């Protein structure tokens, strides 16, 4: 049977792994390739790199990061951040990425999803959705530019649209939970996974073993992503997999 | 030496690196003459069936690939490269596959989410030199799969049981990505690379 995936995420700025809380307050955590080799050997099922470099000019540096990481990985690599055109997608794939994640650019120009899917296949296109619970009213709103700009879009409606346009997977980050280690937003996950027919990666909030189990069972996610929890070695992937197995969740 | 067919679809860097990792000499090329001279071929690929067929024909690669297989020289299709070994695909009606393996590629008909993405178990269903006796766990990412075929030697369960590994003479195909499947994938590539050794080849 298909196993649930454990995915460490490297947030990379100017070539260095960083991590913040609620999308701000970044601190540096080392070289991407060192993390990548560690996770490859530890039994991670996939690796995600998100480039959060601020300026467009400095973004070319991410290609070298992707190359250096791909060289030490024998598991799939998804890369996101700053990808605006089909050519950007091609550059990432040529550098060694297996899949790309789209976010701000696909909100501004949704046809990018179709273009990337038509040229490289849906399996290659991961739609990243950063969502925050609405303060007034119900539901969750989509944010772009690394959580800095509200879009007015409803996260569930947007998820259905990215699926219709050809995304092969959704990477769903709860901005409310990101970096808090208080658990994935299960309400958000459940609402979204029940509305789409493509796999969903849960992101934002993992802090304890039971959070991963919740995301994969009650939340309906196909994969769980975490960053600082793994980078600080507060939790290892073998520990996590043993815990999931004991809870009856199938992992590799 | 293992020759990897570069018809412009998919990331060949990782296939090359995995082959180099197991100590193979590797040539990645779109050149029909180089492919005619190959002792062992890998047909990789990511993307749509019809587009791949168009590119292979456009580059003049169909003849050399067919001749290679016809001469009984070893060949491995990976992911879309495996699907291309078949006659046709529901993904691209009218596009003519290589037809080296009887059968066709069909869309997943399951209640589960599609694409089928992630690590799944492959079980041998016929004797094959490509798989370890107990199969293995490999990385998949695809929305279409091989239908029933007499060439099936390995299957995987995802709502349905589908053909994940085929073998017919010296033509092999795997739906998953061995180059992304860590130790199990490296083991499979070693098993295939053994066919590149003329003393091992029957």
- Quick: pLDDT tens for A46-57: 999 999 876 666
**Residues of chain A in Cβ contact (below 8 Å) with chain B:** 1-5, 40, 45-46, 70-71, 74-76, 93-99, 118-124, 168-169, 196-199, 222-223, 252
- The token pair at B69 is 């297989």
Kindly state the average pLDDT of the residues A29-42.
Answer: 93
The whole-chain average pLDDT of chain A stands at 93
For chain B, the straight-line distance linking the first and the last C-alpha, in angstroms and rounded, comes to 18
Kindly state the average pLDDT of the residues A165-179.
Answer: 96
Share of chain A above pLDDT 90, in %: 82
Structure confidence by residue, pLDDT tens digits, B3-28: 999 998 877 899 999 999 999 999 99
Q: CA nearest A84: which of A67, A96, A102, A99?
A: A102
Kindly state the average pLDDT of the residues A71-87.
Answer: 94
Collect all residues with Cβ–Cβ distance below 8 Å to B94 and sequence separation of at least 6.
B50
Q: Which residues of B touch A63 (CB under 8 A)?
A: none
CA distance A74 to A46: 9
Share of chain A above pLDDT 70, in %: 94
Which is more confident, B180 or A54?
B180
Q: Which residues of B touch A197 (CB under 8 A)?
A: 113-114
Share of chain B above pLDDT 70, in %: 97
Collect all residues with Cβ–Cβ distance below 8 Å to A167 and sequence separation of at least 6.
A102, A113, A117, A122, A125, A126, A127, A198
Contact B158 A124 (CB under 8 A): no
Residue A228: pLDDT band (50, 70, 90) is confident
Catalytic residue (one of B68, B116, B142, B177)? B177
Q: Which residues of A touch B157 (CB under 8 A)?
A: 1
**What pLDDT does A170 receive?**
98
DSSP chain A: -PPBEEEEEEEEETTEEEEEETTEEEEE---HHHHHHHHHHHT-S-EEEEE--SSSGGGGHHHHHHHHHHTT-SS-EEEESS--SHHHHHHHHHHT-SEEEE-HHHHH-THHHHHHHHHH-GGGEEEEEEEEE-SSSSSEEEEETTTTEEEEEEHHHHHHHHHHHT-SEEEEEETTTTTT-S---HHHHHHHHTT-SS-EEEES---SHHHHHHHHTTS--SEEEESHHHHTTSS-HHHHHHHHHHTT--B-
Q: CATH for A5-246, among 3.40.50.150, 3.30.70.890, 3.40.30.10, 3.20.20.70?
A: 3.20.20.70
Kindly state the average pLDDT of the residues B46-60.
Answer: 93
Structure confidence by residue, pLDDT tens digits, B72-101: 999 999 999 999 999 999 999 999 999 999
Q: pTM (2 decimals)?
A: 0.93
Structure confidence by residue, pLDDT tens digits, A124-148: 999 999 999 999 889 999 999 989 9
Residue A121: pLDDT band (50, 70, 90) is confident
Q: CA nearest B18: which of B186, B176, B148?
A: B186
**What pLDDT does A26 receive?**
65
Domain ranges of chain A: 5-246
Q: How many CB pairs under 8 A join A and B?
A: 98
Cβ atoms of B78 and B179 within 8 Å: the answer is yes
Contact A197 B114 (CB under 8 A): yes
CA distance B113 to B159: 10
Kindly state the average pLDDT of the residues B177-189.
Answer: 97
Cβ atoms of B142 and B134 within 8 Å: the answer is no
| B31: three-class secondary structure by DSSP | coil
The whole-chain average pLDDT of chain B stands at 94
**What pLDDT does A24 receive?**
55
- The yes-or-no answer on residue B167 being catalytic is no
Residue A44: pLDDT band (50, 70, 90) is very high
**What pLDDT does B200 receive?**
44
Contact B11 A97 (CB under 8 A): yes
The residues of A assigned a catalytic role are: 11, 130
Q: Is residue B201 pLDDT above 50, yes or no? A: no
Going by their DSSP bridges, the two strands A223-226 and B2-5 should be labelled as unpaired
**What pLDDT does B9 receive?**
82
Is the Cβ of B48 closer than 8 Å to some Cβ of chain A? yes
Tell me, what's the ipTM?
A: 0.91
CA distance A184 to A211: 6
Is the Cβ of B73 closer than 8 Å to some Cβ of chain A? no
Q: Is residue A20 pLDDT above 70, yes or no? A: no
Kindly state the average pLDDT of the residues B162-183.
Answer: 97
CA distance B104 to B110: 18
Q: Is residue A61 pLDDT above 90, yes or no? A: no
**What pLDDT does B91 receive?**
93
Contact A199 B113 (CB under 8 A): yes
Q: Max Cα separation, chain B?
A: 47
CA closest to B51 among chain A residues: A119
CA distance A104 to A110: 10
């Amino acid at each position: 049977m298909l196993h649930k995936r454990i995915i460490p995420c490297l947030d990379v700025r100017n070539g260095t792994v960083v991590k913040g809380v609620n999308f701000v307050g970044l601190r540096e955590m080392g070289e991407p390739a060192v993390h990548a080799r560690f996770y490859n050997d530890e039994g991670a099922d996939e690796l995600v790199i998100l480039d959060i470099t601020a300026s467009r000019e400095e973004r070319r540096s991410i290609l070298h990061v992707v190359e250096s990481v791909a060289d030490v990985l024998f598991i799939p690599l998804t890369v996101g951040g700053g990808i605006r055109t089909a050519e950007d997608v091609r550059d990432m794939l040529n550098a060694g990425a297996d899949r790309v994640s789209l976010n701000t650019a696909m909100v501004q120009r949704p046809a990018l999803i179709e273009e990337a899917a038509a040229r490289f296949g849906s399996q290659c296109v991961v739609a990243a959705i950063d969502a925050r619970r609405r303060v007034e009213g119900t539901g969750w709103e989509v944010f772009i530019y690394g959580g800095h700009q509200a879009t007015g879009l409803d996260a569930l409606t947007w998820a259905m649209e990215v699926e219709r346009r050809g995304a092969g997977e959704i990477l769903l980050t709860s901005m409310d939970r990101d970096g808090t280690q208080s658990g994935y937003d299960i309400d958000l996950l459940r609402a979204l996974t029940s509305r789409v027919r493509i796999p969903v990666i849960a992101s934002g909030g993992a802090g304890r073993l039971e959070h991963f189990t919740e995301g994969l069972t009650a939340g309906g996610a196909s994969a769980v992503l975490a960053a600082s929890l793994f980078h600080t070695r507060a939790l290892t992937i073998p520990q996590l997999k043993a815990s999931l197995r004991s809870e009856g969740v199938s992992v590799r | 030496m293992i020759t990897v067919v570069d018809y412009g679809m998919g990331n060949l860097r990782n296939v090359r690196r995995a082959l180099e990792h197991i100590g193979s000499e590797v040539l990645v090329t779109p050149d029909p003459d180089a492919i005619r001279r190959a002792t062992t071929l890998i047909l990789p690929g990511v993307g749509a069936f019809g587009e791949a067929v168009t590119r292979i024909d456009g580059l003049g690669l169909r003849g050399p690939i067919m001749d290679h297989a016809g001469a009984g020289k070893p060949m491995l299709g990976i992911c879309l490269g495996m699907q291309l070994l078949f006659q046709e695909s529901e993904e691209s009606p009218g596009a003519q596959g290589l037809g080296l393996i009887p059968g066709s590629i069909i869309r997943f008909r399951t209640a589960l989410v599609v694409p089928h993405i992630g690590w799944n178990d492959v079980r041998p269903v016929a004797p094959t030199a490509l798989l370890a006796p107990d199969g293995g766990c490999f990385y998949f990412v695809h929305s279409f799969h091989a239908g029933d075929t007499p060439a099936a030697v390995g299957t995987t369960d995802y709502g349905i049981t589908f053909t994940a590994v085929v073998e017919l003479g010296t033509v092999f195909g795997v739906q998953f990505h061995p180059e992304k499947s860590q130790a199990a994938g490296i083991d499979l590539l070693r098993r295939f690379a053994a066919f590149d050794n003329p003393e091992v080849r029957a």
